[in-house]
Amino acid sequence: MTSIQVRQFPAIILCGGRSSRMGSPKALVELAGRRLIDLVFEKISAHSTSVMINSNDPAIGVQDAVTFGDRIGGFKGPLAGIHAGLRQAMEGKPDGTHALLVPVDCPFLPTDIAERLSGGISAPSTVVVAGSRGCIHPVIGLWPLSLAGRIEEWLTTGKSLKMTDFLGTCEVVGIFFDDIETKTGPIDPFFNINTPDDLAFARQAFEAMN
């Protein structure tokens, strides 16, 4: 029997946000007895060629993982983190055209996220983003390494910091995921934790899944 080769990608966990609504770094809050960054790292590490962490806080990191800050100053949001991640991945000379981008505040990410998204790559320039409940999530996706230069030009020439505005200039494919069923009801696989109330909900959801 011939085994199926699953495509793997370098992965970047985005932790560069200010966590202003949480009141403390989201990456370091605990869920099910683990830091969020550890939960997300384990979710994607088994299905990635390497996992790197974009963080502007030296306290955030995972042992043996490369951690790096934004390369464009002025706190320009997720696009700056994606730019830094793509540049970092390119320096690792990956055997491929894309890198997997995920945020640190999505603890329910499907473990097969990269495999599912890779089915949407129709060309080296295609951006493949995850979607759920009728919405796309631009920070969860396979982004072409070749976009690093365009993002840098976009950010340094004073254009919009909205990711959807930048993606409007790209070829984008959305791959939609179903809810996760739990004992207390369905949950969005890309539910993200921004506030203490979100964290409390996530803790209840974790209990309902086990």
What tens digit of pLDDT does each residue of 44-60 get? Answer: 998 899 999 999 998 89
Q: What is d(CA 16, CA 46) in angstroms, rounded to the nearest whole number?
A: 23
- Tokens standing for 162? 């909205």
Give the tokens for residue 26: 């989201």
Environment class of 28 (CB within 10 Å of its CB; exposed 0-12, middle 13-18, buried 19+): middle
In order of 8, 56, 71, 124, 190, the CA distances from 5 in angstroms are 9, 35, 34, 19, 26
> What pLDDT is recorded for position 1?
36
CA dihedral for 103, 58, 53, 31, sign (positive or negative): negative
C-alpha span between 124 and 143 (Å, rounded): 9
- Structural contact between residues 45 and 102, judged by C-beta atoms closer than 8 angstroms: no
Q: What is the pLDDT of residues 8-56, one digit of tens each?
A: 899 999 997 766 777 788 999 999 899 999 999 999 998 899 999 999 9
Which pLDDT score is estimated for 21?
74
Q: How far is CA 68 from CA 1, 11, 54, in A?
A: 42, 13, 5
Query: Residue 50 in contact with residue 85, Cβ under 8 Å?
Result: no
* Overall pTM surpassing 0.85 (yes/no): yes
Q: How far is CA 68 from the centre of its chain?
A: 15
